[in-house]
Structures are given as structure tokens and as C-alpha cells.
Amino acid sequence: MRYISTRGLPGAAGAGFSDILLEGLAADGGLYLPAEYPQVDAGILASWRHVLATQGYAALAHRVLSLFVDDIPSDDLLGICQRAYTPEKFGSSSIVPVERVGNGPLWIGHLSNGPTAAFKDMAMQLLGELFGYELGRRDGYLTILGATSGDTGSSAEYAMRGRDRLAVYMLTPAGRMTPFQQAQMFGLQDENIHNIALDGVFDDCQDVVKAVNHDAEFKANYHIGAVNSINWARLVAQVVYYVAIWLRVTTSNDQRISFAVPTGNFGDICAGHVAREMGLPIDTLILATNENNVLHEFFTTGVYRVRASAEVAATSSPSMDISKASNFERFVFDLLGRDGERTADLFGRQLSENGYFDLSGTPEFASIPERYGFVSGSSTHADRLQTIRGLYFDNGVLVDPHTADGVHIAHEWIGKAQAPIVVLETALPVKFAETIKEATELDLEIPPRFAEVMDAPRRVADLPNDAGKVKEYIAQTNKLG
């Protein structure tokens, strides 16, 4: 399987999976996608159904990944999947349990039982194993530098902790994370994990990361890399849970179901798009945004307009507070018949010159619901509270505010999208205890498995908002290579 860039020219040769694994963007600024999507049919789905039932989630992951990875020996890939998806890390042998809400059309796909209680662990745990494997094979080193306002940073640290060819430097805006999020990151005692509380806001953290990356010599000397949501391996890991959930909810190999997905950077739902393009029988992909409705605006008007930082509202589903959706280019590339030049014009030239592009009135935009199954909605703080309250008191199901956005929009599509509709859970409620309290009056207790980090000494460096100081700190503390 070869990988091509969304901004590439037709006929470009493409790269292998292991080559793009450690890279971020393609050299032309585009995102990587497989040259074509592998296709599944009823026979393959039947065999996967058997694999999941008899050998479990890791074995299914191996089958699905094998369609996308041809430069890692099959036995090694199986080992990678088996180490990534253990019952110890994910709380049950099913890894991804599904639950029906009452006797109705809605189901919840539980993706947040991993080490940091957010769905990002589903991809990050696999990425940690893949990085460890590939760096060993290449005798290489990697210093992951990132900025986080919440779930991504802790998920990355848990996946990379204790690995000897990897170091992680995570910048967080000082004083802006919840106590639970702080404990999750700052309570880690592993020597290769470095937390930096920057005297600034999240955008300042991102600017410092960019500035460090602009210093080509420093970047090369310290093997600086990233684990951001545009990484293809993260997406392909997410395709696996669409398959697993589909297998658990359906009873025949041609039954169509729908998914409702809380969306920020278009990562989680992009994996659904890939699964649907592979032929997994998905009817509708219901995209749920919060007040930061960049994507809902596109799917209803055809206009994609990125927001300035100041325009991004701070909401009670903070992991969806985005100014632009970094994976969206992948979908648009497919929508435009994989025309790399046109994609480059939209995402390169038009976005930087105008801040938006407009596909309204094009046949491609008109084709979206029928051809690609996407519909969308956006919700408010009041919607989240009402949804959390309703699900809890009527059905005994407690969801976090992001998942509540998904449930709220799923309700709007009952009767129009083919049921069952599976809402993808993105975090455990305890991570957002304040909003749960506001909705239900419940005081959630921190589960025992997190108690250790809550009580652990804090490991964090307070640094000024200054890329030079951050580079100095990396130079002083990095023990790699």
C-alpha cells in the first residue's frame, strides 16, 4: 500500500506506511492518504466477525491494519496490536463495549476506557507501539514536542512513557487545565516525560511549538517530531473501532447502521469516512459540533471558513473548540475526485488569501449526503446539559459533555438516518465533573485507577512564553541518542 499527498500531482509515486509513520505533513503541505482504499465485502466481514468473536479486538485490529500496512512483517504487526489493546489498559476484554440506550434506536460505542479516559487512547496506544517498533528497527530517536489544552497531551504521554528511544515535551497553558487533567499529566514520574507549564494561553503554546520547529538545525539535532491528529496511523487505528462496533451492533453482513460523532479536528469522523469508503455498511455519518460550528457551516452551506483564535468560543465541550479542522482536507480531497491541484488551491491558496473557500453550487457539494452519507448539526451548552440530564434520569446512562453533543445531534436524525445510530463516546464523564454536576447535581468520584497520579508529586517546569527558553530546557534535559 502506497500513500499519497492530498496536494500531490496525479501519478506521484507515494511512500510506504513506515515512512509516513514518523512524518507529519507531506513535503508539499498536504496530508497522507492511501493511494486507494482497500475494499471489504460480505465474505471479509464474515471472517472479521469470526475473528472478533473468537480472538478479540487486537486480532481484529491486526486484520484491518494488514490492509493498510505492507512494510511490517505480519507477526510483528500482530504483536504491536496485542501490546496496544490489552484488557489491563482498556478495562475489559471487549476493549470497545457497546451499549443500547433503553430499547430505542440509539447506542453508545464506549471508546474511553483507556489509560486517560478519552477516545484518543484508542489511536495513541497503537501509535506508541508503532513508534517504539519503528525506532528500534531504524536505530532512531524521536523527541515529541506538542501543545495541548487537554486530552491529546495526556494520551500521548501515557502511550510514550518509559520508552527508551522517545522523549515527550508537552506544553500546556499555565493554570488553564482542570485539576484532573493536570494530575494526569504532571503526576507521571517517567524520566522521558517532560511537562512544561507555559506562561501564556494555548495559542502561545502552539506558537512556541511552531517556532522551535522552524529552527531546522535544532529540529534535526534533537529529532523533533509530533503526534498530532493528522498522523495517518492515528486515523487507521480509529477505523478499527468502527469495524468492531459495526460487528457488535449488527447481526448480518449487509446490515447498514449510522454513526453520530462529536467532532473537533475531523479525526474521529474521518476514520468513519475511510471505513465507509472501504465498503463497511455505514448509512449516515452524523457530524456533531458545539458552538464552534465551522464544520456544520460547511456541510449546510458549502462554505468552509476558518475562525480567528479570538472567534473561538470556550465551551463546556472544550476538546471541540477549534478554529479549523486539521483533518478536513482529507475528506475534501476525496470529494473533489482526488484532485490534488484543486485541493492545494483550496487549502493552500484560498484559505491563506481569503480565510475561506466556497463549494456551494458545485455538483460535488450537492453529492455529499447521497454519496458520502454526511449530515451535521451543532449544539449549545443548554443542549448538552439537557441531554446529559435526560439520558441519566430516563435511561441511567451518564455521558460526558462531548458525547452529549453527539447524542443531541443524533436525536435530530432519528427517523432520517438508518437505525441503529451509534454515538461514539469520546471521554468519560469524570473528566468533566463540573458540567456533570451542573446537569445532574451528581458529585463524581475519581476512579481508583487514577488515584495514584492524583496523589503523586507533580513533575512540571514553569517556563516563560519564550521559544528560546523552551529550546534551552529541551537541550538541558533531553537524554536521547
Ligand X SMILES: *Cc1c(COP(=O)(O)O)cnc(C)c1O
Longest dimension (CA), the chain: 60
Q: How far apart are CA 343 and CA 333, in angstroms?
A: 6
State the residue number with the nearest CB to ligand X: 267
Q: Determine, following the binding rule CB under 6 A, whether residue 319 of this chain makes contact with ligand X.
A: yes
Helical axes 179-186 vs 151-160, angle rounded to 10°: 20
Give least dist CB 293 to ligand X, A: 13
Q: By C-beta, is 156 or 463 nearer to ligand X?
A: 156
Which of positions 188-247 make contact with ligand X (CB under 6 A)? Answer: 229
Q: Which is nearer to ligand X, 174 or 427 (CB)?
A: 427
Q: Where are the alpha helices (DSSP H) in 164-231?
A: 179-186, 202-214, 216-221
C-alpha cell at 214: 522552524
Site string for ligand X, 402-421 (x = CB under 6 A): x-------------------
Which range binds ligand X by CB under 6 A, 257-265, 372-380, 385-393, 448-456?
257-265
The nearer residue to ligand X, 128 or 264, going by C-beta atoms, is 264
CB of 273 to ligand X, least distance (A): 12
- Tell me if 258 sits within 8 A of 286, measured CB to CB: yes
Q: Given the DSSP bridges, would you call strands 193-198 and 166-173 parallel, antiparallel or unpaired?
A: parallel
**What mask of x and - would describe binding to ligand X in positions 426 to 465, judged by CB under 6 A?**
xx--------------------------------------
Identify the CA nearest to 262 among candidates 93, 82, 406.
406
Shortest approach of ligand X to residue 168 CB, angstroms?
17
Among 17, 107, 266, 304, binds ligand X (CB under 6 A): 266
DSSP letter for each residue of 345-407: IIIIIIHHHHSEEE-TTSHHHHHIIIII-EEEEE--HHHHHHHHHHHHHHH-----HHHHHHH
One residue of 72, 101, 118, 135 binding ligand X per CB under 6 A: 118
Stretch that binds ligand X, among 26-34, 262-270, 375-383, 459-467 (CB under 6 A): 262-270
* Nearest of 201, 146, 178 to residue 316 by alpha carbon: 178
Give bridge partners of residue 262 from the DSSP assignment.
288
Which grid cell is 199? 506562561
List C-alpha distances in Å: 114 to 52, 91, 137, 358.
19, 7, 27, 39
CA distance 153 to 205: 12
Give the range of 3-11, 201-209, 259-267, 298-306 binding ligand X by CB under 6 A.
259-267
421-424 vs 106-109, strand pairing mode:
parallel
CA dihedral for 327, 331, 333, 338, sign (positive or negative): positive
268 lies in the site for ligand X, by CB under 6 A:
yes
Using the 8-state DSSP alphabet, how is residue 119 labeled?
Answer: T
Nearest approach, Cβ of 300 to ligand X (angstroms)? 18
Nearer to ligand X, 319 or 478 (CB): 319
**Of 141-149, 260-268, 412-420, 452-460: span binding ligand X (CB under 6 A):** 260-268
- # chain residues binding ligand X, by CB under 6 A: 16
Judged by CB under 6 A, the stretch of 34-42, 70-78, 258-266, 297-305 that binds ligand X is 258-266
Query: Which set of grid coordinates corresponds to residue 473?
Result: 530546557
**E strand or H helix at 286:** strand 282-289
Give every CB contact of residue 255 below 8 A, 6+ residues apart in sequence: 281
Closest CB to ligand X among residues 149, 478 = 149
Judged by CB under 6 A, the residue of 114, 115, 225, 264 near ligand X is 264
Task: Name which position in 109, 114, 128, 262 contacts ligand X (CB under 6 A).
Answer: 262
Q: Given the residues 120, 416, 469, 471, select the one marked as catalytic.
A: 120
Applying CB under 6 A, the span of 12-20, 242-250, 265-273, 449-457 interacting with ligand X comes to 265-273
Q: Which three cell numbers stand for residue 316?
A: 463546556
User: At its nearest, how many Å lie between ligand X and the CB of residue 317?
Assistant: 7
Strand, coil or helix: what is 146?
strand
Contact characters 126-155, ligand X, x per CB under 6 A: -------------------------x----
CA 43/CA 47 separation, integer angstroms: 6
Q: Minimal distance in Å, beta carbon 264 to ligand X?
A: 3
Known catalytic residue at 479: no
Contact (Cβ atoms closer than 8 angstroms) between residue 167 and residue 192 = yes
Using rule CB under 6 A, residue 120 touches ligand X:
yes
Q: Does the protein bind ligand X through residue 320 (CB under 6 A)?
A: yes
Which one, 192 or 426, has the nearer CB to ligand X?
426
Q: Which is nearer to ligand X, 253 or 289 (CB)?
A: 289
- List active site positions: 120
Sites of contact with ligand X (CB under 6 A): 118, 120, 151, 229, 262-268, 319-320, 402, 426-427
